[in-house]
Amino acid sequence: MTGETIDKQTVMNAVEKAVQRYGASRDELIPILNDVNRSLGYIPAEAIEEISKLLKVSRSQLFTVASFYHMLSTKPRGKHVIQFCESAPCHVAGGREVWVTLKDTLKLESGETSPDGLWTLITTSCLGVCGVGPVILVDDDIYGNVTPDQIAGILARYH
């Protein structure tokens, strides 16, 4: 789902489903936020409000959690989210050149969404596949041993 406004009922349904799935417990906060983020593309303010009520967690705490985890966003994101691993093993494997190429190709900085709503570019910490660094994740597709000259070809697979 992209950056268009999501109607309230859809937001409520997504929250309800996630809370039913994991239970209305603070311990399940991350999976619940993650589920809502996955189904709506981000976590709208109405969802924060509702989760806050159901789990009895303050809104500010929810915003703090959401901003701490790279995979979560409280702002609408592009149709495709590119996560670039910025941890040291990927960095020394040539990550910096890949990052520069990604930014130049997309004309985006970390955390930005392209004006056409197609891309959001974010950095992330280790994705757990350091042996094949540099690593990028486009939506759920993981790419390893990425070189700068592969970037255009990878991006071309997504519309």
Task: Give the interface with ligand FES as residue ranges (CB under 6 A).
Answer: 85, 87, 89-90, 126-130, 133, 135
Shortest Cβ distance from residue 31 to ligand FES (Å)? 22
CB of 131 to ligand FES, least distance (A): 8
Given the complex with ligand FES, which of 89 and 117 has the nearer CB atom?
A: 89
Cis preceding-peptide flag for 134 (omega within 30 of 0): yes
34 in Cβ contact with 108 (< 8 Å): no
Contact 148, 97 (CB under 8 A): yes
Token readout for 53 is 């009520």
Residue 76 or 133 having the CB closest to ligand FES: 133
Q: How far is the CB of 88 from ligand FES (least distance, A)?
A: 7
Distance CA 132, CA 89 (A): 9
Shortest reach from residue 28's CB to ligand FES, in Å: 26
Q: Which is nearer to ligand FES, 11 or 102 (CB)?
A: 102
Q: Could you say which DSSP state residue 93 is in?
A: I
Beta-carbon count within 10 A of 139 CB: 11
Q: Which is nearer to ligand FES, 30 or 126 (CB)?
A: 126
